[in-house]
Every structure is written in C-alpha cells, then in structure tokens.
C-alpha cells in the first residue's frame, strides 16, 4: 500500500479486509510501499514519512496483528533496492511499456512529469517486492493481476539465465528443497481476493486522486455529511420518481456494507419511491459507521512509539527473510567475491 495519504474504504474493502483474514492462514508479509510513492511524488517527499505512520495505524486499526504477520516499511529493507537493479538488467523495455496502468497513469497524472526511468521501472520494483519473499501466492484484486503476471515472466527469465547454483552447501540445499530445488525465484500465483470496486461520493471509483473518498479515520459526522452529498441514480430526479439501486452508487455501498434486511428495504423503498434518497443515505451511513467504529477504536489504542516499535521489528524480520533470497540470487548470478557460487 502506497503511503500517499490515509487509507480509504476502497483500500479497506479491496485489500486490507482480505489481508486480515489471510494472516491466520498463511505466513504473510505486508508492507508500506514508500519507494513506490517516490515514483510519482519524487518532487515533494515531505508527505511520505508522516503518511507511512498513518498507513501503519490504518493497518493495525483494520486488524493486522504484528504477532501474526510481518508489517514493514519498504525503504527500510535494503534488499528492496538491490533486487530491482539486478532484475532490471534482464527485463526487456517492451514488457514495461505494455503494462496497462503505465499509459493510463501518465494520462491521469498529467500534472506530474512521469517520463522517468523510475516510473517506467515500477513493475520491476513491484516484482522484486514480491520475489524477495519467494512466495507461493500474492493476494491481489483483479486490477493487480497484470503486475503479478509480469512478475512471473521476470522470475521465469531469471531462472532460465541463472538456475540454482549446484555447488551450494548442504544447508542451502536443505533449505532450498523446501522452496524449489531448481529455481531461485519460484513463480508466484495470484491468490485472487474479492475486491469490490467501491464507488466514491461522486460515483467514480473511490480514489485519493479524485477527492471522493471516505477515509478509515473519518468521524461519524464527516461520514454522514459525505454521504449526504453523494450522487445517486441520475434518473431519480424528484422524490416521487422511482429509482433503481442497481444504477446508484449509494446502492453499491448498501450491497457491500448493509445487512440483507436493510438491502431488501432499500430495493423495495427505492423502486416504489416510498423512501427518499436522504433516508436511504442515512441507512448507508449507519452501516459504514458500524464498520468504521471498531477500526477507529483499535487505531486509537496504539501510540506513535508502539507503531515505531512494530515497524522496527517488522523491518528486521523482513530484512532477514529477504537476505536469504538475495544470497541465493547473488550466488546464482555469480556475484560473489570469487565469482563462484557460495
């Protein structure tokens, strides 16, 4: 998750809520991608450090448990600088230029100059972020599948050029056997997680760059106020006009957050014009507040010092794991003092 601001409900439903469930089932690494924030915000980095703390608090508030998973900051684990350089050597430019989000983001962020080496290369950084942990799975929503596919292609190319060195010592082989006997960088699979596309208050996808978000930290009055101004079914102009919750962004929120009983009332009331949009929005706000309240309470229970300690220990755990991979990568590429596999 990039620390370009506080997280919003889209981030929560699209990613965080899934992560909280996954931490019980898998050994998980979750990180705050501050190096990725640099790819677009390089000209003014003042927000990155404060936002990193806010995102860490959002993670903890949502229920990520540092006893169950590793939470760390990308820039504090130096292997995240090393592997991208090496993988950059073998990644053809064409692969990067055809990443769907590349042109899209350059167009969407026209006010920023993104014609940089770093921005073109962000999928290599992302591939490195994944492969450093030699994972079996990457939990992502559909919108991120293309990046994982590219990661698989980069891993495959690496493994073709640099098969696992044969002269590894017995300890390495033993550990390697638990990972993959042949390849240093096993190709990770997508673990497709449900990621409903949450609309923002203007009906477009909820996104920081559109200024249409409901943040995880928004207090109840703010949530209610934002809901009041939210766009609705455009065909329902007057109170007496029947509407269609399937064509209404507020209806989309109900589908994600409301109970089946409330949802039934929404469909019935909207289609028969027996409820107005104000009432319907009030019910949606009730549901959102119920989701947000426990998150905000948990979030407020952590001090800044505690968060720093959690990140500090997560950074160390991540670095230790990433270094194991780097030792295998350096050996396979013969980047050792003698040029031989160590």
Instruction: Tell me the DSSP string of 75-114.
Output: GGSTHHHHHHHHHHHH--HHHHHT-HHHHHHHHHTTTS--
Q: Tell how many helices (H) and how many strands (E) occur in the chain.
A: 16, 4
Q: Which residue is nearest to ligand AMP (CB)?
A: 14
CB 191 within 8 A of CB 140: yes
- Return the number of the residue (64 or 332) whose C-beta is nearest ligand AMP: 64
Return the residues of window 178-197 that contact ligand AMP according to CB under 6 A: 195, 197
Smallest CA-to-CA distance from 209 within 315, 310, 101 is with: 101
Q: Does 13 bind ligand AMP (CB under 6 A)?
A: yes
Q: Using the rule CB under 6 A, which residue among 207, 262, 324, 342 binds ligand AMP?
A: 207
**Closer residue to ligand AMP, CB minimum distance, 203 or 276:** 203
At its nearest, how many Å lie between ligand AMP and the CB of residue 286? 21
CB 164 within 8 A of CB 182: yes
Q: Which of 41, 137, 125 is nearest to 87 (CA)?
A: 125
Instruction: List binders of ligand AMP among 314-333 (CB under 6 A).
Output: none
Q: By CB under 6 A, tell whether 123 contacts ligand AMP.
A: no
Q: Would you count residue 32 as binding ligand AMP (CB under 6 A)? A: no
Should residue 11 be labelled a site residue for ligand AMP when binding is judged by CB under 6 A? yes
User: Among residues 11 and 134, whose Cβ is nearest to ligand AMP?
Assistant: 11
Between 168 and 232, whose beta carbon lies closer to ligand AMP?
Answer: 232
SS3 10: helix
- Min CB(296)–ligand AMP separation in Å: 19
Q: Is 10 in the site for ligand AMP (CB under 6 A)?
A: yes
With binding defined as CB under 6 A, does residue 206 bind ligand AMP? Answer: yes
Nearer to ligand AMP by Cβ, of 59 and 183: the residue is 59
**Considering only residues 6, 157, 205, 298, which one is a binding residue for ligand AMP as defined by CB under 6 A?**
205
Among the residue ranges 8-16, 47-55, 68-76, 215-223, the one whose residues contact ligand AMP (CB under 6 A): 8-16
Q: Which is nearer to ligand AMP, 175 or 189 (CB)?
A: 189
Q: Does 108 bind ligand AMP (CB under 6 A)?
A: no
Burial code of 30-53, b = ≥16 C-beta within 10 A, e = fewer?
Answer: bbbbbbbbbbbbeeeeeebeebbb
**Residue 143 CB, nearest approach to ligand AMP (Å):** 5
Question: What CA–CA distance (Å, rounded) separates 186 from 158?
Answer: 10
- Distance CA(89)–CA(91), nearest Å, equals 6
According to DSSP, the residues that pair with 192 across neighbouring strands are 140
The residue among 39, 123, 82, 148 whose CA lies nearest residue 325 is 82
Round to whole Å and give the CA distance between 213 and 12. Answer: 12
Residue 139, Cβ density class (10 Å: 0-12 exposed, 13-18 middle, ≥19 buried)? buried
Q: Is 105 in contact with 81 (CB distance < 8 Å)?
A: no
At its nearest, how many Å lie between ligand AMP and the CB of residue 34? 13
Query: By CB under 6 A, is residue 28 in contact with ligand AMP?
Result: no
Q: Cβ–Cβ contacts within 10 Å for residue 23, how many?
A: 20
Binding-residue total with ligand AMP (CB under 6 A): 16
Choose which of 47, 88, 141, 186 interacts with ligand AMP (CB under 6 A): 141
Binding site for ligand AMP (CB under 6 A): 1-2, 10-11, 13-15, 141, 143-144, 195, 197-198, 205-207
């Amino acid at each position: 998750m990039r620390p370009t601001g506080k997280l919003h409900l889209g981030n929560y439903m699209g990613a965080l809520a899934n992560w909280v469930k996954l931490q019980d089932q898998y050994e998980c690494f979750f990180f705050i991608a501050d190096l990725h924030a640099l790819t677009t915000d390089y000209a003014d980095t003042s927000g990155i450090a404060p936002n990193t703390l806010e995102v860490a608090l959002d993670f903890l508030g949502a229920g990520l448990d540092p006893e169950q998973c590793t939470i760390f900051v990308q820039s504090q684990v130096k292997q995240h600088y090393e592997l991208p350089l090496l993988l950059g050597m073998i990644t053809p430019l064409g692969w990067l230029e055809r990443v769907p989000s590349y042109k899209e983001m350059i167009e969407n962020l026209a006010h920023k100059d993104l014609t940089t080496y770093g921005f073109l290369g962000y999928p290599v950084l992302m591939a490195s972020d994944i492969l450093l942990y030699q994972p079996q799975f990457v939990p992502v929503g559909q919108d991120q599948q293309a990046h994982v596919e590219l990661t698989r292609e980069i891993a495959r190319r690496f493994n073709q050029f640099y098969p696992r060195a044969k002269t590894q010592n017995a300890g390495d082989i033993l550990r390697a056997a638990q990972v993959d006997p042949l390849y240093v960088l096993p190709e990770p699979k997508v673990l497709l997680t449900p990621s409903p596309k949450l609309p923002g208050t203007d009906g477009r996808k909820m996104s920081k760059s559109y200024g249409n978000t409901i943040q995880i930290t928004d207090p109840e009055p703010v949530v209610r106020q934002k809901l009041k101004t939210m766009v609705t079914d455009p065909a329902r102009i007057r109170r007496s006009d029947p509407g269609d919750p399937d064509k209404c962004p507020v209806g989309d929120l109900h589908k994600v957050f409301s109970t089946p009983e409330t949802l039934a009332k929404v469909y019935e009331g909207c289609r028969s014009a027996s409820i107005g949009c104000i009432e319907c929005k009030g019910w949606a706000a009730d549901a959102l507040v119920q989701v947000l309240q426990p998150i905000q309470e948990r979030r407020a229970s952590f001090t800044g010092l505690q968060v720093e300690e959690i990140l500090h220990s997560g950074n160390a755990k991540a670095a230790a794991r990433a270094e194991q991979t780097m030792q295998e990568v350096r050996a396979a590429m013969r980047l050792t003092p003698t040029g031989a596999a160590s």
